[in-house]
Amino acid sequence: MLESKAGFTFGRKIEKTKESDKMKNRTMMQLFEWYLPEDCAHWKKISQEADRLAQDGVNMVWLPPAYKGASGKYDVGYGVYDVYDLGEFDQKGSIPTKYGTKEEYLQAVSDLQKAGIEVLGDIVLNHRMGADEKETVDAVEVNGDDRLREISGMHQIEAWTKFTYPVRNGKYSDFVWNATHFDGVDWDERAGKNGVYRFKDKQWDRGVDGEHVNYDYLMGADLDLDHEDVKKELDRFGKWYLDTTHVDGFRLDAVKHMNASFYRDWLRSMRTYKEKELFAVGEYWSPDLNRLQSYIAQTEGVMSLFDVPLHFKFYHISHGNSAFDMSKLFEGTLVGTDSWHAVTFVDNHDTQPGQALETFVMDWFKPLAYGIILLQEKGIPCVFYGDYYGIPHSGISPVKHLPRLMQLRASHAYGAEHDYYDHDNIVGFTREGEGNTDGLAVLVSDGPGGTKNMYAGSAHAGQIYVDALGNCPEEVTIGSDGKGNFRVEGGSISVWIPKL
């Protein structure tokens, strides 16, 4: 274990300490959606929006993958070609990525940080796509639903596995990827056939999700994370990326497809190198809480995870015609069992309309869902770009009240929390406030409207509360016992705060 002069410890489990108090009231934003224009202008827009986002309470953003994808400027960023090309080299048909040039990316990171916003880089290390050359490789085809069952004998295939990066020509890294660095691919050029092919003398990585029996293989040329040269190169890349971009942490893609020990060790290496507790959140896409908890245990708590089970709760509630029991909202969720490792969200680029994981929460329920994740104490909420700005491609407007809810998190969501998840439809909570903050009372209903007597805090006795969202016009006076009768309309949310 290493210690810095400031007393931080690095390369170890993240623990709740005085140094990590800055996690309180952290509001993350995913600062992209899938169908952004392919105009190479996103980094410039982010620079222009930095101050506005800070004013609305955002203090952390997750930017899209910044490196060159196999489809050049048409690639959202997950079809990774060259992680050292941040929009600098004329590769795959363009110099800029979909979002802009390297200079514009670095400027956007700097502008966000100047506005008081931490920046997370999207790290995609599971696979490579768009190789420069084919190689002849001995391989077996495996069953798509049981990746441990072979359905062919060993035979030769032509695989796109050699990455020479002739344009970059060794700048930043002279590492050349070849078939020995991968476990398998999904395309045999010789036969012109799709499938899942495992290379000779290779085994799928252990410590991965059990879907398809072993879900190591996802797409492209799958990295062999047992290969020492691969691990060394990914370590070199991480350090280069930190030194080049100065990001404050990471969003880690597709972690369920990678040996859990890899990111455990990689994150510890990065934190030791920078002597910083770089915040990290992983995408482990599963509605099964047990799988998320198992991954956190396997990685020894080095990262948070997105609360996918809670997202699915929101989705089902929004489509449930008030049949969902709201009192059980947090049962089986990460934030309900391990809030310190939970990043809560309503939707993202994978769940938006038109995507493979489409489970888009209905418009009427979104303000309720955001009110819950933004104003409660538990978890770190992540706001989706498509909910904040809208999704023109799909004719989707920005979520009503969302900027106001984000502002209320920054100004009022402090102090002791008292939960009232005690009804099938109408649930809520209060925050007492602390220091110079006044606190609030939140009430939501996925069915009929109604009232609930909730404790706002004895310090608020005699104060008048109003609905900051304007959904209920009346005023509520807090009694001598610190309680008030707060109301919510049907299928709505009210956020009650002390009247100015």
Structure confidence at residue 389 (pLDDT): 98
Given the candidates 3.30.450.20, 3.20.20.80, 3.30.70.3270, 2.40.340.10, the CATH classification of the domain at 2-125+228-412 is 3.20.20.80
Report how far residue 71's alpha carbon sits from residue 187's, in angstroms, rounded to the nearest whole number: 17
Does the fold of domain 417-498 match that of domain 2-125+228-412? no
Of 366, 498, 490, the closest CA to residue 441 belongs to 498
- pTM exceeding 0.75: yes
Q: Which residues pair with 186 in a beta bridge?
A: none
417-498 belongs to which CATH class? mainly beta
User: Could you confirm whether 253 is annotated as catalytic?
Assistant: yes
The pLDDT assigned to 494 comes to 98
Q: Tell me the per-residue pLDDT of 107-121, one tens digit each, with 9 for 90 and over.
A: 999 999 999 999 999
Cβ neighbours for 86, distance < 8 A, ≥ 6 positions apart: 66, 67, 68, 97, 102, 105, 106, 244, 245
Enclosing H/E stretch for 373: helix 366-375
Q: Distance between CA atoms of 351 and 16, rounded to whole angstroms?
A: 31
Of residues 118, 122, 205, 253, which has the active-site annotation? 253
Instruction: Supply the pLDDT for residue 25.
Output: 85
Write out the chain's pLDDT in tens, 500 residues: 333 333 333 333 444 443 344 456 899 999 999 999 999 999 999 999 999 999 999 999 999 999 999 999 999 999 999 999 999 999 999 999 999 999 999 999 999 999 999 999 999 999 999 999 999 999 999 999 999 999 999 999 999 999 999 999 999 999 999 999 999 999 999 999 999 999 999 999 999 999 999 999 999 999 999 999 999 999 999 999 999 999 999 999 999 999 999 999 999 999 999 999 999 999 999 999 999 999 999 999 999 999 999 999 999 999 998 899 999 999 999 999 999 999 999 999 999 999 999 999 999 999 999 999 999 999 999 999 999 999 999 999 999 999 999 999 999 999 999 999 999 999 999 999 998 889 999 999 999 999 999 999 999 999 999 999 999 999 999 999 999 999 999 999 999 999 98
DSSP assignment string, 339-371 = GGGEEEES--TTTSTTSTT--PPPGGGHHHHHH
Residue-range domain boundaries for the chain: 2-125+228-412, 128-223, 417-498
Torsion of CA 59, 37, 186, 149, to 10 degrees: 50
- Give the chain's length: 500
Token pair of 307, please? 């609360």
Answer yes or no: 467 catalytic. no
Please name the residue that has the structure tokens 């404050």. 248
Paired tokens of 478: 């807090």
* Token pair listed for 469: 């969202």
pLDDT tens digits, one per residue of 292-322:
999 999 999 999 999 999 999 999 999 998 8
**The pLDDT value given to residue 24:** 65
CA–CA distance, 178 with 169 (Å, rounded to integer): 16
Backbone phi, psi, residue 193, to 5°: -130, 135
What architecture (CATH level 2) is domain 128-223?
Beta Barrel (2.40)
